[in-house]
Amino acid sequence: MPKEKSDKQEQGAGRQKNVPVGEWIVAVVGLILVIGSISLTLYRALTEESTPPVISITVDSILPAENGFLVRFSVQNTGNQTAADLNIEGVLKNGEEIAETSAMTLTYAPAHSMREGGLFFTKNPNELDLQIRSTGYSVP
């Protein structure tokens, strides 16, 4: 440490202060976090087109439930826009005839993210033709 500087510090602070290495490390981590999060958001903001939500729903499992059956599914939004109040409808078909419908609303399906949900049916989805699709959403 240069003598001049330490003199100045002693005068200025009343007590001499060494900056611990840890302090620098945390500061550099902070700098990286700032640059990292700014550049990630900027990159996304500048490169991504605002394409509408693209919703795909896959059935994960069909389980017995109280008074019927539970169909658990995951919703994947591969679009660049978030869908709010995403309505999801499940239909059980017996040939052309609709045997039962159930519906739920997913509060949010964020862009490029996955959410999970479930639908209850009284009839056995394993024995019928199960179709799950999203029927509509609002822009948050």
Partner 1 sequence: MSSPSKNVKSEKSDARRFFVDLSRAFGGAILFSFPLLMTMEMWRLAFYMDGLRLALFTLLTIPLLIGLSYYDGFEQTNTVKDDVRGAFIAYAVGFAASTLVLILFGVITPGMSANEIIGKISIQAVAAGLGAMLTQSLLVIDDETEKNAEKRKRSASYGGQLFLMVVGAMFLSLSVAPTEEMVLISYQMTYWHTAALAGVTLLMKYGFVYAAKFQGHHKVHSPDESFLSLFLRFTVVGYAIVLLISFYILWTFGSIDGLSFAEKLKATIVLGFPAAIGAAASRLIL
Question: Which residue ranges make up the site for partner 1 (CB under 8 A)?
Answer: 6, 9, 12-14, 16-24, 26-31, 33-34, 36-38, 40-42, 44-46, 74, 82, 84, 108, 110-116, 140
At its nearest, how many Å lie between partner 1 and the CB of residue 111? 6
Instruction: Name the residue with tokens 């069909």.
Output: 62
Instruction: Name the residue with tokens 């059980």.
Output: 92
At its nearest, how many Å lie between partner 1 and the CB of residue 110? 4
How many angstroms separate the Cα of 31 from the Cα of each of 25, 35, 125?
10, 6, 54
Alpha helices in 48-72 (DSSP H): none
At its nearest, how many Å lie between partner 1 and the CB of residue 59? 16
Nearer to partner 1, 44 or 133 (CB): 44
Q: Phi first, then psi: give them for residue 85, nearest 5 degrees.
A: 45, 50
